[in-house]
Amino acid sequence: MISEPTCVFCKIVAGVIPCQKVLETERALVFLDICPVNLGHVLIVPRSHHTHLAELDDADAAHVGSLLPKICRAVLSVTGASAINVVINNGRDAGQGVDHGHWHVIPRFPDDAVHWPWPHVAYPPEGPGPLRERISSALAGE
């Protein structure tokens, strides 16, 4: 397991900093967010340090993916929320505050303070095709 000594989430995973654990597995730790958007907001943190999702190995990604439905069901059940957001802020420009990749599971209510949808942009005059082709080529090159 990779660990970064200055990373707050690595310190939480190691037990150096306490947290409100809701689930612990061999590959991940799930705990209440210390500054929740809504009560019941939890974080899923892979035990192995990685700054961005692109650095996460496939086994850890698959494990977190397998936890998401169970965690969502528990948060919905306990909070009585009508919906849930699963959010990954990947990089500072996306709002990532801790440089250790993690998932937010945020219960949502009809009258909460979070406002959606995000603004949207239009494709350039040539349409989405060129961008799709570049992304497909990048995936084929992995």
Which residues are marked as active site?
A: 102
Q: How far apart are CA 101 and CA 53, in angstroms?
A: 6
Amino acid occupying residue 72? C
Q: How far apart are CA 3 and CA 40, in angstroms?
A: 27
Q: How far apart are CA 59 and CA 91, in angstroms?
A: 21
